[in-house]
Structure 1
């Protein structure tokens, strides 16, 4: 019995159709492949992305993967004038699946979906997504292994991608600064952070075309203060009068739980750099009391990076509690 578009999307959402392209092909056979279907699939993606702000990402991977399959079978039947739009939407799905897999701790899947996003972006000549795929690989190198050198390599490739918008290049420069920081290259990290600020300022004046890719809120004063405070400390030495952590304390609390958890973890590191272990521990414990840290690999990784900084205060009770709580996460 033929199904409507709405029924098909609902079935995908609950996993009722399975995962094979043959099953999806049969289910979608009676559906018109037109601009309306494209719009409904784009709305569905936005709905899943919104849900990911409050739900553990791993709960959303299966329905979003099935929707990629639906896009594949419908793209083959789409009019020639719509095929590029279907391919672009596939790339957007793959980019979302990449970070969902990352948050679920699944590195192979995160890399796979990053590769798929770049593959489809290359077919389209979509510079923003092509460049951002390298940014994502830089993020993965840091999240899963703390590999500053791999992060530098991928961020450099992102910066060299022709036609990438200033916002994406700013994200790449930020990753470059993180990579150099992890690798112990203090001067190079500072230079990359300076480049980040310049590119983010340019992004505020630039009108991007096409779907936005990657992090949107990159140039707020709070986030820039966090970047500065987070990356200071290489070489690791005590600082006095560092106000970056205090300036960053007003970070936007309307962010998603995942983004807020990651931001709080980086802010905690900024406080530790600024010789404020009490504020750092308070932030870490508050983040752990929520669900974001448990559900987000990125947040857990960033929280653990505060431990070497807090080691300067081995006899503090709050530092001991932070060590115990982070160890309990496994």
Structure 2
């Protein structure tokens, strides 16, 4: 007799789906979902990536939910059992254990212990700190689908912020909900470059959970406007997950942004998300996918603002050099991107409002490096990259690419010094994306690995 997959059902409920809703999103019968959860059958391989995104888990975690990969769910000695509660990863005297929460705190929510166990290495909340959180905050987090497994590496303060954001959103909902959400998202975006993703994500996730919860309680017109704001917030959440290199959750939120934008009738946002997915493909070094996504983003039907069109053209050029084009071959596209940006002066759209000539220059430098012209890239960085014109996070990020260009141009000492400057900003803003780029830089510097400056960079990045 097949064993029931209770973990799969719990993950579905934690993601806010009924069997009927999940089946609809996957384009299958409800009975198929029921068979998966009862253990009578398994999802076909081609459905698993989308199923994982809908359940807000990685594909590896999904395999664990299906029972295809062994996972330890036994409590760590001294951590307590799970018979009367749930296990949550905490750090006790420097060691991660699974601690059982009281039954009252989780009475209204079920969470998959497989998924919790998979996240335990990311725990940063001590047992004492978790006890300091109010029962109301704990129940708020667990009741409304913000499972611990969906919030990697968040500490006590961040978890409390999620609960507070949800509570504030509910309080403001009957007054000026759209203004509230827009103000909060704008504030998060303004602070992101200095605060970093791990401090910004909790607030954004709290807002998105409130939007998802309340969008069904309003009239159709307000729902569309609310979902349009939600699409903007979901795109921002996807960007934050990109910065911590959690590509699975990033793609999940890009898909949510698309779904909400479709329902809201927001064509430009749909095209914008295609552009952002192209950028995610660059992070994952998938140039062909990057190319087709950048081209899809330029379809006239999206009615994209000129700034977004400019970025999409630049993104297409970068993808083309990654698949073999020369810098000279894509120079007309880069010139066209700058023309579009110049034409955008009277464009009052907020979508892509961050895109500036300085940012285009940075991306052009990255494109030249990809095309095998690192010296041209270094010249652009030296002329344009200034700390007072970028956020701390973005300045550190572009410094990491400048370091790579210097290394490829045969200047190892300057590359290492630039890399160290980049690393200090990446550490201050918790930008895993920048840190990963510095790992790539160290690869470029391998022929000079014994030089003092290069050794210093290696020690900093490896620490």
TM (norm. structure 2) is 0.58
CA distance in 2, matches of 1:300, 1:54: 16
- Structure 2 equivalent of residue 18 of structure 1: 141
What is the root-mean-square deviation of aligned Cα atoms in Å?
A: 3.5
- Structure 1 equivalent of residue 290 of structure 2: 151
CA distance in 2, matches of 1:260, 1:239: 20
CA distance in 1, matches of 2:412, 2:370: 17
Q: Which of residues 37, 49, 53 in structure 1 aligns to 2:189?
A: 49
CA distance in 1, matches of 2:446, 2:373: 13
Q: Which of residues 341, 344, 357 in structure 2 aligns to 1:219?
A: 357
Q: Which of residues 333, 340, 358 in structure 2 aligns to 1:192?
A: 333
The yes-or-no answer on 1:281 pairing with 2:416 is yes
TM (norm. structure 1) is 0.78
Equivalent pair of 1:261/1:299 in contact (CA under 8 Å)? yes
Which structure 2 residue ranges, 5 or more long, are not aligned?
A: 1-133, 147-162
CA distance in 2, matches of 1:235, 1:48: 35
- Structure 2 equivalent of residue 5 of structure 1: none
Shift of 1:290: 3.2
- Structure 2 equivalent of residue 6 of structure 1: none
The count of corresponding residues between Structure 1 and Structure 2 is 308
Q: Which has the higher contact order (CA 8 A, sep 6+)?
A: 1
Equivalent pair of 1:167/1:200 in contact (CA under 8 Å)? yes
Shift of 1:167: 0.8
Deviations 1:220-258 (A, max 9, x none): 3xx444333332245536758973232124x25253222
Aligned positions of 1:90-129 closer than 5 A: 90-129=230-269
- Structure 2 equivalent of residue 246 of structure 1: 382
Equivalent pair of 1:293/1:300 in contact (CA under 8 Å)? no
The yes-or-no answer on 1:87 pairing with 2:244 is no
CA distance in 2, matches of 1:244, 1:29: 44
Q: Which of residues 13, 28, 40 in structure 1 aligns to 2:180?
A: 40
Larger radius of gyration: 2
User: Where in structure 1 do 4 or more consecutive aligned residues deviate above 6 Å?
Assistant: 26-30
Equivalent pair of 1:128/1:168 in contact (CA under 8 Å)? no
- Structure 1 equivalent of residue 59 of structure 2: none
CA distance in 2, matches of 1:176, 1:239: 22
Which structure 1 residue ranges, 5 or more long, are not aligned?
A: 1-10
